[in-house]
Amino acid sequence: MKKIALVILILLLIGILYIAIQYGNALTSFFSLEQKELAPNLMAFIGNGGNSLVLFSRESSQVLIVDSKMFKGAKILRHYVDELVDDANIILVNTHFHADHAGGNKLFPDAELIASRYSQDQWENRDGEKYADLIVEFGETYTFTVGADSVKVCTLHGHTGGDLIVYIPTRSVLHTGDLVFNHWHPALLPRDGFDLNGWIASLDTMITEYKADTVIPGHGNIGGAELLREMKSYFVDFRQASSDAEIRALKHRYNDYLSLPGMGFHRNRTLIAEVDTP
Ligand SMILES: [Zn+2]
């Protein structure tokens, strides 16, 4: 009996060691949180769940939050907003329904929640609850102001069946939600509406229609418009590689990309290979 327990313990330790070596950087990056002031009244919170953005105006007592994170990140975000403006009108946009982007919603019961029709449907189907105060239908754009800044919320799709992007033209800033992963293997989730051709079309739309000097991806560091092109190249490269030599070259090219357990190179190559080119 003792022997069996010892063997199980050793196997467990080997398993933990394997995950620590294989995914240590990814897990550290996923759970760490970095706060970055992009411009006056514009703050990014990178990591600890999906990347978040806060735009505020003290004059008009308004705060816009893009994605509410989860766990500790959500608490830090709530604390930050509470310190900013007394009795603020809070608008919270969820780029999509995944828990690492929307898990902190419950800490913002006072916010007006904006979500896509697809996110709303997922919440209703899975939890039987109504969440969004304002639903952005597919193809619709919702525009509002925060102080002197205009904000545009638009629906695209690909990562899920309804991904919102948030564009602040007055700041040349675009939050893409999980339509862009920067130096991460993107999470491809067929049961959540993953649509490769739709995703590439959404990237094309962002590349051609949105002038953004600053792009905030769903995961990974902030960058410029090149992040949109790099995400598209990722899909094009994965789609084109078929021979063993091409796949080896592909693996080498994307060797420094992070991934969470089970969401990396091999899974993405298989899923992308299954999709027909339009
Ligand atoms: Zn996601």
What is the structure's pLDDT at 214?
A: 98
Pick the CATH number of 35-227 from 3.40.50.2300, 3.60.15.10, 1.10.4160.10, 3.40.50.620: 3.60.15.10
Reduced to 3 states, what is the DSSP secondary structure of residue 151? Answer: strand
Q: 177 C-alpha to center of ligand 1: Å?
A: 7
In the reported structure, the alpha carbon of residue 126 is separated from the centroid of ligand 1 by a whole-number distance in angstroms of 16
Ligand 1 centroid–CA 180 distance in Å is 10
Q: State how far the Cα of 46 lies from the Cα of 29, in Å rounded to an integer.
A: 9
Cβ partners under 8 Å of residue 72, min gap 6: 33, 48
Contact 35, 83 (CB under 8 A): no
Taken in order 144, 39, 90, 114, the sign of the CA dihedral is: positive
d(CA 95, ligand 1 centre) in Å: 9
Q: Summarize pLDDT for 147-169 with one digit per residue, the tens.
A: 999 999 999 999 999 999 999 99
More reliable by pLDDT, 131 or 21: 131
Distance 86 CA to ligand 1 centre (A): 32
Rounded to an integer, what distance in angstroms lies between the CA atom of residue 127 and that of residue 193? Answer: 18
Please say whether the beta carbons of 170 and 211 come within 8 A: no
Find the 42 Cα to ligand 1 centroid distance in Å: 23
Q: How far apart are CA 241 and CA 74, in angstroms?
A: 39
Q: 100 C-alpha to center of ligand 1: Å? A: 7
Task: Give the Å distance between the CA of 187 and the centre of ligand 1.
Answer: 7
- Which residues have CB under 8 Å from 22's CB, separation 6+? 261
Those residues with Cβ within 8 angstroms of residue 129's Cβ, 6 or more apart along the chain or in another chain: 123
The predicted-structure confidence for 197-226, as pLDDT tens digits, reads as follows: 999 999 999 999 999 999 999 999 999 999
With 60 as the cut, is the pLDDT of residue 233 above it? yes
CA 186 – ligand 1 centroid, Å: 9
Distance, CA of 222 to CA of 187 (rounded, Å): 18
Q: Which residues pair with 91 in a beta bridge?
A: 64, 112
Q: Residue 126 has what DSSP assignment?
A: H
Q: How far is the CA of 50 from the centre of ligand 1 (A)?
A: 8
* H or E element in which residue 174 lies: strand 173-181
CA of 211 to the centre of ligand 1 (A): 24
Q: Are 223 and 215 in contact (CB under 8 A)?
A: yes
Q: What is the pLDDT of residues 265-275, one digit of tens each?
A: 999 999 999 98
- Tokens of residue 250, six digits: 């592909």
What DSSP letter does each residue of 32-72 carry, written as one string?
-EEEEEEETTEEEEEESSS-EEEEEETTTTEEEEE----HH
- Kindly give the distance from the C-alpha atom of residue 129 to the centroid of ligand 1, in angstroms, as a whole number: 20
Give residue 85's pLDDT.
87
Using pLDDT thresholds of 50, 70 and 90, give the confidence band for residue 138: very high
Whole-model pTM?
0.90
Domain ranges of the chain: 35-227
Answer whether 194's CB lies under 8 Å from 188's CB: yes
Write the pLDDT tens digit of every residue in 16-55: 565 565 666 676 666 788 999 999 999 999 999 999 999 9
